[in-house]
A and B are shown apart, each in its own frame.
Chain A
Amino acid sequence: MLYVVLFFLIFSLFLYVVLGGADYGAGIVELFSSKENQKITKKTVYRVMGPVWEANHIWIIILIVILWIAFPVYYNIIVVNLHIPITIVLLGVTLRGVAFVFRHYDAVIDNSQKLYDGMFKVSSLITPIFLGMVFGGLISGHIKIVEDIATLSFYEAFLKPWFNIFSLCTGLFFAALCAFLSSVLLIGESESGNENIYVRKSTIATIVVFTMGLLTFTYGYISGNIFVIDFIKNPFAILAVLLSAILLIPLWKTIKKGNKVWSRFFAGLQVFLILMAALISHFPDIIITQTGSISLIENIAPDSVINVLGISLIIGGTVILPGLFHLLKSFKMIKILEQHNNPSI
């Protein structure tokens, strides 16, 4: 059952990174667009994200619930030592969610749209940066585990773990990844004539992802980060990253051909590979502290809890996944039907 739970943990992490990431990325793309393109993006984002918007963000709740039930030690470290960035993420999620709803459901369209747009775009950038910083914090090796945390200074206990250059690099890397995912997604969804906006955006995003990745690794290597050093030594991790880079070729080919299903598949696969590389290079020790690492597998809840959780996840999964799939499929089909009925679209 532990493996079922682990599967769902990684599965929801992956889906949150891809779906939630694309969602954050939409705001980032909008933020870095010219005024005219912002309008186009806003419309496209609503059309694409609207029906699945709520579902995208529930993955993080599933993720966090699995963590606290099955891996209480991990959850405890995250909420205690990384209290501050998580609070910022939460504020970002709140403002962003509210801004998204306000700008699309407000009965009156007027100047207040500017405020909603601003809130949406800025929180779309800040939230994934801090999310990435939380992950960076876990692996940065700055967390200090002691019997009584009150013996540490405020800086050492609550700031140092995440407020460092390495974490900031991972944060920026994740935000760039979100923008990359979103621009690939938007290429397929934009109305004809606008594709080039997103082709250009995805080129820029790819370059930024690559640069930030390189920077994170170089900095990590120079500063002696255990995670980065082990990553580089791990042949599977390197293979996964290389494969992800090679996939850029089919990605560009499919984008040029306008094959949106395959281009999304490749983009998703790339992110999956990067995520896998990050996880396997140090599995099961995902948290690296000043004095050593903490194993995910060795600090789990009792068997009875894992078993019941595993069964609930299987039952939940069999209800939710077909429904979600159907939701995605129906609206895709509807869109194609619309295009057939109304050639002007």
Chain B
Amino acid sequence: MADATQNVTLTVNGKTITAAKGTLLIEACKQNGIEIPAFCYYPGLSLQGACRMCLVEIEKMPKMQTACTTPVAEGMVVQTETEKVVQARKSTLEILLANHPLDCPVCDAGGECELQDMTYKYGAGESKFIDIKSHRDEQQWSPVIFYDRPRCILCYRCVRVCGEGMDVWALGIQNRGQGSVIAPNQGGKLDCEDCGECIDICPVGALTSSTYRYKTRPWEMTHTGTVCAHCADGCITTVGVRRSDTGSEIVRCDNRDRSGLNDDFLCGKGRFAFDFASSKERVTTPLIKRDGKFVAATWAEAVELVAARFKKAGASLGVIGSNHTTNEENYLLQKFARTVLRTNHIDHHRTADYPSFARAIASSKAQTASLKDVAAASAVLLIGGNPSEEHPFLAWQLRTAVRQHRQKIYVVNAAPIKLKKQAAHFLQVTSGKEGEFAAAFSGDAAALAHLGVDTARFDPFTAALASESSLLVVFGSELRGAGIDKLVATFAPKGAKFLCLGDYANSRGAADMGLFPDLLPGYQKAENSGLALPQMLDAAAAGTFEALWVVGANPAARHADVNAFAKPFLVVQDMFLTETAQHADVFLPASFAYEKAGTVTNTAGDLQRLKKASDVHGVKPDFEIILRIAEKMGADINALVPFRGYTSADAGQSRGPQSGEADRNAVFTEARGLEAKTSPLDPTITLEEIAQTVPGYAVSRLKLLAGEAQPTTLVQIDPAGIASHSELIVPARNGLYASGTLGGYSETLRAMGATHRAAEPVGAD
């Protein structure tokens, strides 16, 4: 381990460099712009010394040494480009290529292959080898993972990332010598979490995914790093898109961007479950129900009808927002509802008790944690939740921290969750009583009794926990209301930081943006509370609601009474005819995360930018749809989106034949790099307003736009009047093979779930 407090000085190629004691030579060189090639070395994983590409000459050592296993030492004199070193690299490549198929033209990795690049760079162009190459047939290990042994260079990166990184240990090495192969754990099949980390870490095309293989060449894609559409961790995923008949098609998501908090992590959902975007079931035209049947309509017709009915409804209108839409969309939705529609009946599917969290943090002047804090924390208390299933990146960080700097994890859970293995201390408590841990920790005997833990187990746990000088407290949706207050009040005085776990990509943003009947953006108390979601649906079922507007949500999946959706005039914005949308009177086809710009907030409050990666003809972002409705209703667009100049919503039409005309504004402004300043549809204008209105959102715009996650806080919030509504929390508990309603439209995700252990119960959002 590198020790940043002590530096050593060494000489590389005649240049004097310094590096922290313990740094590996290969890293020290990299930090100083000296590149040493490597296949088997991978930062953060155990050392191998196997590929021999990194051999360098070190003075006083008779043999060349591997830079990947040699720590720097004071006075070391290193040569990385001598004739001997260069020849060693070249011959290793030659020897390696002897059995490597030269099928680069059809290989998935062609163009982004480390072997190809190294051969190009270090020159092994001429083949001395004339014998038949060893061959083995390709194998399909899982619905998404294929292995081609001849292309494999045996760098063991996949084996390590699966074992050390994922704690899955599904890959091994079998046979020996030239017969060596990477082997999956079920005799030719894989039983794993299908995270696909092995595919991305593979330097060549030996591991490929069913979702991408033989589909395209890498240079035919446009790559955009944006925020994953699935869970609430907010990983950055690089979306690879190519042109198609429908506009564009997403062909790959991977972690090559490496610019996010998640560095090179991505779970199976983030990597493979994007195919719903091009699902046959996706609706790309507005639909109006006539005589019980959906009939295709133009946007103008549909929007006009909606605007007319909303006008008629007045305040007798309920609005249901989404955990997936952007902050700007959510903010605009509630602003429009409250200021134009003049209704307080607005809510969303709550998966965590963020209002109570905001209240507790603000009351105790405690600190919220960013997901960045997880890796660095020396000790973590995890109460409730199941990160390995529901917050894969959080789990990855915890495991990594345990491996790399012996982070101590204290787990309090009703079940022996997978992270128990990494936990220094584990306390199994009665299900549903997790919220009483803090009270028990503070000495409340009744709370201890509720936990169902005897003192023989409880005391050592709490004694160790109490001895930690700095603590990160992470808690799941089991903790609500007063439980959160007590937890924060107990650990805040010791300087702990807190992280509250919710379920979806923008669950936290939806809460922060005030998709509540009683709370405005930033958890400010609304003057008059509207109806919460269940009451809204009851009212709708009872016929007291004129209209119901569902933006990117599927409440029918969780609400049994069909009347709630059948009785009112129902407007649904979505990608699919979901359980809810089937009852719609007007269906408006919407874009999803990868097809729009804006920001989302992960469960830790880290604000990140969504970048538009893809586009499908006919659909529109919710932001534009809301504005179009507003405009048709005669609302003052400039008041809703205070941009300077233009005031017609039509100025920013989206592209595609469905919209009837080219988006001249977009073409014009984009060509001049001006988009951010001139269109009312530009979400950054709304973001500016959010920064001014929502406490904790006044982050560095520069850094945010540059792609750096910006932690928001909950500190300046007025805790008075934030009521607990624990009964309204319905955790989705999406496991690794579920992702609410959207996940159900991903064939890949369904296939992954089907071949692996019984998928977790699907909780639709």
A and B: bona fide binding partners: no
